Amino acid sequence: MEIFYTKDKFWLNKWDKFVCKNNDGSHLILSDWLKSYQSYGFDFEVGLCIENEKIIGGFGAIIPKFLLFKFYIIPYGPLVVNEKNLVLEELIESIVTRSIKLKTCYLQIGFRSFKEIEKRINYTTYLEKNKFKKGNRFKYVFSFIGLNWLDLRSYNAIDDLLLDFKSSVRRDIRSAERKQITISYALTINEIELAYKLCLENARKANYALRDWNDIKETIIALIEKGSAKFITGTKDNELKGAILIIKAGSYYSYILGGTKKEKPDLLVGHLLQWEAIKLSFLEKCQGYNLSLGGSKGVQEFKNGFNTIQMSAENSNYYLVNNGLLFSLYVFFEKYMKPYKRRVAKILALIKRLKNESRK
């Protein structure tokens, strides 16, 4: 058995397959998702535990770096195959060693700390041994916070699923189905771009951040081409009315982002798109569908109408300070950077773009 760190395409492809087949997997550690942070000038790698040329465990790491500061962020805890849980301790120790070798001032790991996982894997024993502290002190990489879970395993038919939704959601889905909205999947670059820009337009109006199209397009296109992601769209009279992006990892799809045209009367296309994602999950025999946590009060009420269970894991992030002086300096700067988080992200992306153009 050996542990090594790589960005080699051969091993990244093997890693993605491992993540997708592992029931505990997450899109947060698919190689294309890790790569997406390169638009900010961040680096990434995967750490793999190999036995007989097969992956038996591993992790995905993002390596943010700017000014004097460098960090090692595991957005979603190490994955192991069920019968090889003992390699988890070695993986965590290798993460600590690797973060120190790369001269990072701070290490963070986000775990999926639900009861069904904890019965099989005891993370805390290894974390306490390595003197980790609970918390998330680096907010510039999205780490796992939980699931808004619709369990599909107990249903025998799609109609049974629909009957379990709140009556208002059932009514809105049926109403939307009568409005002659065409549901399809964006496949061409132009279709994907139009779908994303509708989501971007919604984000701007609602005053929340989404990455610019140029910073995320390679990631989304690659995931769709590989079959890991779907951009589901709803059109009426040849006009795009709504779109949602979902990504599959482990045994479920996760809702990533979406947007709809705000019109009166309301076409209820958002209900129809989520219903399509749920039906797709059911037909592909997924264990469930993750409608994702968060959003405004109205968005959360909309999601809750689909009979989901909120499984919060906000307290499952742990960190280790490797260089106290440098990290204290970062905390000082971060205090003043925080109100400008969105602007900082755009500046980092712009700097990265200008560097790339200067090399051409």
Rounded CA-CA distance 319/249 in Å is 25
CB atoms within 10 A of CB 191: 17
CATH number, domain containing residue 347: 3.40.630.30
Task: Show the tokens assigned to 78.
Answer: 């190490």
pLDDT at 118: 54
pLDDT at 190: 97
Q: Are residues 240 and 346 in the same domain?
A: no
Rounded CA-CA distance 251/24 in Å is 8
Give the burial class of 86: count Cβ atoms within 10 A of its Cβ; 0-12 exposed, 13-18 middle, 19 or more buried: exposed
Q: Are residues 218 and 274 in the same domain?
A: yes
pLDDT at 208: 85
| Number of domains forming the structure of the chain | 2
pLDDT at 345: 63
Q: Are residues 103 and 118 in the same domain?
A: yes
Rounded CA-CA distance 96/99 in Å is 5
Q: Are residues 190 and 97 in the same domain?
A: no
Rounded CA-CA distance 16/227 in Å is 12
pLDDT at 340: 55
Q: What pTM was estimated for this model as a whole?
A: 0.89
Element (H, E) at 191: helix 189-206
Gyration radius of the chain's alpha carbons: 21
Rounded CA-CA distance 326/335 in Å is 14
Contact indicator for 112, 74 with CB cutoff of 8 Å: no
Contact indicator for 29, 39 with CB cutoff of 8 Å: no
Domain range for 276 is 147-312
The one-digit pLDDT tens for each residue of the chain (360 residues) are 899 999 999 999 999 999 999 888 999 999 999 999 998 889 999 999 999 889 999 999 999 998 889 999 999 989 988 655 678 888 999 999 999 999 999 999 988 765 555 555 667 777 878 889 989 999 889 888 889 999 999 999 999 999 999 999 999 999 999 999 999 999 999 999 999 999 999 999 888 888 999 999 999 999 999 999 999 999 999 999 999 999 999 889 999 999 999 888 899 999 999 999 999 999 999 999 999 988 888 888 899 899 999 888 766 889 999 999 999 989 988 776 655 555 666 666 666 566 565 555
Q: Are residues 340 and 294 in the same domain?
A: no
pLDDT at 114: 54
pLDDT at 84: 58
Q: Give the position of tokens 């994955």.
A: 79
Q: Are residues 22 and 62 in the same domain?
A: yes
pLDDT at 323: 96
Q: Residue 344 carries which DSSP code?
A: H
Task: Show the tokens assigned to 74.
Answer: 């595991």
Q: Are residues 281 and 345 in the same domain?
A: no
Rounded CA-CA distance 123/190 in Å is 44
Q: Are residues 8 and 119 in the same domain?
A: yes
Q: Are residues 178 and 225 in the same domain?
A: yes
Q: Are residues 246 and 297 in the same domain?
A: yes
Looking at this protein, which amino acid is placed at residue 164?
A: D
Distances (CA, A) of 133 to 110, 126, 139, 171: 12, 12, 16, 47
Q: Are residues 141 and 152 in the same domain?
A: no
How long is the chain?
Answer: 360
Task: Show the tokens assigned to 52.
Answer: 């007989």
Rounded CA-CA distance 182/139 in Å is 39
Q: Are residues 180 and 57 in the same domain?
A: no
| Angle ∠(255,257,263) on CA atoms, nearest 5 | 115
